[in-house]
Amino acid sequence: MSDELSFRFDVDGDNFTSAGQASVQVKKDLRRLGIDPEIIRRVSIAMYEGEINMVIHAGGGVAEVRVTEEAVEIILADNGPGIADIEQAMQAGFSTAPDTIRSLGFGAGMGLPNMKRYTDYMDIQSTVGVGTTITMRVNLPEEEE
């Protein structure tokens, strides 16, 4: 059995300008655990993209990060509108974000592709009208005996 450490954050859906607080906090926490900087970078970018998505599309949600000996796992859950066509949403450049979000530099249709790109595993469970749960994992290198 491996020890497990977990962090949980409520992502505020009303405040776009403060989005990213959870990801920045996770970055700090992971650094304190002595995890490799490149792995921290991947985890925190993937989480930030997910956090931004929850703010833009779902009115916020809950982010949970679990650290085991094998991997860092990020679970993002919201009660937003859901994703009708996940395959389409995964395409780089596809976006349903409004212009106000685009003017802030987001909404380029790179969020989900970035999350996939930076993680070793990603699963999207979504029901239209109910919400979306995304699970991502970034593997930790095996410790040498």
Partner 1 sequence: MTVKQLIDSCGFTAAALPDGDREVSGVYIGDLLSWVMGRAGADEAWITIMSNRNIVAVATLADTACIILAEGVVPDEGVAALAAEKGVNILQSPLSAYETALRLRDAL
The window from 2-10, 20-28, 71-79, 128-136 that contacts partner 1 (CB under 8 A) reads: 20-28
Among 9, 11, 13, 19, indicate the residue that binds partner 1 (CB under 8 A): 19
- What tokens appear for 40 in the block? 């921290």
What span, in angstroms and rounded, lies between the C-alpha atoms of 33 and 17?
A: 28
Residue 33: C-alpha distances to residues 15, 22, 53, 138 (Å): 29, 17, 27, 15
Among 7, 29, 39, 41, indicate the residue that binds partner 1 (CB under 8 A): 41
Per-residue binding string, partner 1, 93-112, x by CB under 8 A, is -----------xxx-x-xx-
In the complex, the smallest distance separating the C-beta of residue 105 from partner 1, rounded to whole angstroms, is 4
Is residue 33 a contact residue for partner 1 (CB under 8 A)?
A: no
Question: Do 63 and 75 touch, CB atoms closer than 8 A?
Answer: yes
Is residue 114 a contact residue for partner 1 (CB under 8 A)?
A: yes
Residue 125: C-alpha distances to residues 1, 14, 19, 86, 87 (Å): 28, 24, 23, 9, 12
**Residues counted in the chain:** 145
Is residue 44 a contact residue for partner 1 (CB under 8 A)?
A: yes
Residue ranges in contact with partner 1 by CB under 8 A: 17-20, 23-24, 27, 37-38, 41, 44-45, 48-49, 52, 104-106, 108, 110-111, 113-114, 117-118
